[in-house]
Amino acid sequence: MDLAANLATIQAKIRAAAERAGRDPAEVTLVAVTKGQPPEVVAAAAALGLRIFGENRVQEAKAKIPLCPSSLRWHMIGHLQTNKCRDAVELFEMIHSVDSLRLALELNKRAEQAARRMPILIEVNVSGESTKFGYKPEVLLRELKEINALPRLEIQGLMTMAPWTPEPEKVRPVFKKLRELKSECEQLLGAPLPHLSMGMSNDFEVAIEEGATIVRIGTALFGPRAVSKPAGTQASTD
Ligand SMILES: *Cc1c(COP(=O)(O)O)cnc(C)c1O
């Protein structure tokens, strides 16, 4: 695995995709997804200038982050259980995966206890796949104002995971729909939402063409993940 070469390739593709869409490449933030990767890999990525890292399990992040360079910023990108919210507000600068009012209420409470504001994205299940987490669009539109009223949470935009496909062009409608849903949310709230977190290793170029401001990339940077759970994590419930 040549991390420097992978990063250069990804950055070139981000630039090209942004330019194809008439966008400034600086509008697109790369979150390096290090789930299943050890602290040494995080340190190597940090040495190449990467600063924002994504994890999808609180338990793994809690074990790993103290072993990584301290200047890094961590984003929670995976499904979050309410019993992990207290740790999540300590560990992460942003949570991409708020997918219910119940979770938002618990995060708000824990952020209050930690005396901080928590930037969040709301995860939407655009494709309607039953295996995916995320709000149904129509439920989000019903509950958005209630989430927005929570004083410790700061809604910064929407997040989605597209279905896996060998032909990324096929999931373009998913990204387009998330962008349109963001506009609807902005109208409801009467305020702009800066972020669309969409696009992974397989489909980030199409996502950028459709307006992604955050792409979450793991395997294209670091290679395949080990299948089993890494040492230092529990085989449990987050
Ligand atoms: C694992 C993961 C990613 C990165 O996936 P790759 O295909 O390895 O780039 C992005 N987003 C979420 C929510 C993930 O769980």
Predicted local distance difference test score (pLDDT) of residue 113:
98
Q: Does any domain span residue 191?
A: yes
Residue among 1, 9, 10, 33 whose CB has most ligand 1 atoms within 8 A, to mutate = 33
Instruction: Please tell me if the CB atom of residue 33 comes closer than 6 angstroms to any atom of ligand 1.
Output: yes
| pLDDT over threshold 90, residue 75 | yes
Ligand 1 atom nearest 35 alpha carbon: 1
Q: Do residues 40 and 68 make contact, with C-beta atoms less than 8 angstroms apart? A: no
Rounded distance from Cα 113 to ligand 1 centre (Å): 30
Q: How far is the CA of 24 from the centre of ligand 1 (A)?
A: 24
The boundaries of the domain holding residue 192 are 3-222
138: part of which helix (H) or strand (E)? helix 137-148
Query: Number of folded domains in the chain?
Result: 1
**Residue 181 belongs to some domain of the structure:** yes
Domain annotation covers residue 37: yes
Atom of ligand 1 nearest to the CA of 204: 9
Query: Taking residues 37-61, what's their average pLDDT?
Result: 98
Q: Is 167 exposed, middle or buried (0-12, 13-18, 19+ CB in 10 A)?
A: exposed
C-alpha distances in Å from residue 31, one per residue of 11, 82, 96, 104, 105? 12, 24, 11, 23, 26
User: What per-residue confidence (pLDDT) applies to 183?
Assistant: 98
Residue with more model confidence, 238 or 47: 47
Domain membership of residue 236 (yes or no) is no
Using an 8 Å Cβ cutoff, are 177 and 196 in contact?
Answer: no
- In 72-124, alpha helices (H): 85-91, 101-113
Task: Pick the more confident residue, 57 or 234.
Answer: 57
Query: Among candidates 41, 77, 51, which has minimal Cα distance to 238?
Result: 77
- For residue 201 and ligand 1, the question of a CB distance below 6 A is answered with yes
Going by pLDDT thresholds of 50, 70 and 90, the confidence category of residue 230 is very low
Atom in ligand 1 nearest the alpha carbon of residue 97: 13
Question: Which pLDDT band holds residue 237 (cuts at 50, 70, 90)?
Answer: very low
Residues 131 and 214: their CA atoms lie apart, in Å, by 23
CA 16 to chain centroid, in Å, comes to 22
Note whether residue 139 is domain-resident: yes
Amino acid identity, residue 180?
A: E
Give the confidence band of 131 by pLDDT, cuts at 50, 70, 90. confident
Question: What residues contact 68, with CB distance under 8 A and at least 6 apart?
Answer: 39, 42, 43, 46, 53
Q: Is residue 58 over pLDDT 80?
A: yes
Average pLDDT over residues 121-131: 93
Is the pLDDT reported for residue 108 higher than 80? yes
With respect to residue 27, please indicate whether it lies within any of the assigned structural domains: yes
Confidence of residue 227 (pLDDT cuts 50, 70, 90): low
Q: Which two tokens stand for residue 100?
A: 């219910």
Q: Is the CB of 100 under 6 A from ligand 1?
A: no
Q: What is the rounded average pLDDT of the residues 145-162?
A: 98
List the CATH number of the domain containing 198: 3.20.20.10
158 within domain boundaries: yes
Does residue 121 lie in a domain region?
yes
Q: How far is the CA of 216 from the centre of ligand 1 (A)?
A: 6
Helix (H) or strand (E) holding 32: strand 29-33
Tokens read off for 145 = 């104002």
Q: Region 81-86: what's the mean pLDDT?
A: 98
Q: Is the CB of 75 under 6 A from ligand 1?
A: no
Q: Which two tokens stand for residue 89?
A: 């507000």
